[in-house]
Amino acid sequence: MNKFFFLVTFILSLTFGYAQKAPYVIYNSKGKKVTYKKMLKTLEEKDMVLFGELHNNPIAHWLQYELTSDLYAKRPLILGAEMVEADNQDELDAYLAGSIDYKALDSTARLWNNHKTDYAPLVDFAKDNKLTFVASNVPRRYASVVYKGGFEALDTLSTEEKSWIAPLPILYDPNLPGYQNILKMMGDHGSPTLVMAQAIKDATMAYFILQNYTDGSLFLHYNGAYHSNDHEGIVWYLMQERPDLQYGTISTVMQDDVHKLEEDNKGLADFIICVDSNMTTTY
């Protein structure tokens, strides 16, 4: 009787549209739907995985945790994130070691406003499993320095300050499509130094990823999707130094209809998490 009721309900849902609306669908780069299991199986073979998120998207944050846990069961894992800046590595390490509590971390490190809800679970996963967690991003004040005065403005920094950014001089290709698109999106507000400020973030994150990577492990990095879309940004810098490594990328997008990936979203990454536009946000 229960099986019959289930079958009737299923048929009615297909016929009359009563099926629950899917909050997200995962696609490969060509726009073909894939399962989470397929994505996991592919990514577990990589040396580095860059998980491109939308910072306020709860589906992306949930899947980050799920992927972290599942990859940990398969491979030696190293974690890192855009959301903690390089000059806060000591404070982060102290928290991971248990020498300071969350309140102390929050008061001494420049945590993002949504850290407690969106990133603390990932940091705590590293803490509980004794994993390295890399604070990879450039301190934002130095990105501001670049925005105001270009890369040459970094030459005035002290030796200690330079230790928190990628080594100078910064390798830079302003003609990368992603950087050119920033200028188009910003219109009259765009400038060459604005793109340089983006590049110093990409270069620094790539630098600290490579500094902490060990052969045979898998480095899982969390960052805004634009920093790794189209295998540019961070990935471009990684490949300049280690073209021998296998890279996997994930991007997160939002669409009104998640059941067919829009053309503009195809090819953004190896896997694209397409989230319903009505999904609530974390801030």
pLDDT digits (tens, 9 = 90+) for 37-92: 999 999 999 999 999 999 999 999 999 999 999 999 999 999 999 999 999 999 99
Phi, psi of 197, rounded to the nearest 5 degrees: -65, -35
Amino acid at 3: K
Residues facing 53 on adjacent strands: 224
pLDDT at 19: 52
Res. 180 pLDDT band, cuts 50 70 90: very high
CA-to-CA dists, residue 83 to 19, 162, 167, 171, 283, angstroms: 37, 19, 20, 23, 15
The pTM of the full predicted model, rounded to 2 decimals, is 0.92
Q: Is residue 4's pLDDT more than 80?
A: no
Distance CA 278, CA 283 (A): 14
Dist CA 273 CA 59 (whole Å): 9
| Integer Cα distance of 283 and 274 in angstroms | 19
Mean pLDDT of the 122-147 span: 98
**What pLDDT sits at residue 73?**
98
CA distance linking residue 83 with residue 112, whole number of Å? 7
Q: Which residue has the tokens 């590293």?
A: 126
Q: Can you tell me which residue has the tokens 């961070």?
A: 234
Domains of the chain: 22-276 (3.40.50.11550)
List Cα–Cα distances, 160 to 16, 83, 86, 156, 163, in angstroms.
65, 21, 12, 12, 5
Task: With CA atoms as reference, report the closest residue to 219 among 120, 76, 89.
Answer: 76
Q: The tokens of 54 are what?
A: 């939308």
Cβ partners under 8 Å of residue 20, min gap 6: none
**Could you tell me what percent of the chain has a pLDDT over 90?**
89
Q: For residues 92 and 132, what is the distance between their CA atoms, to the nearest angstrom?
A: 10
Residue 109 near residue 249 (C-beta atoms within 8 A): no
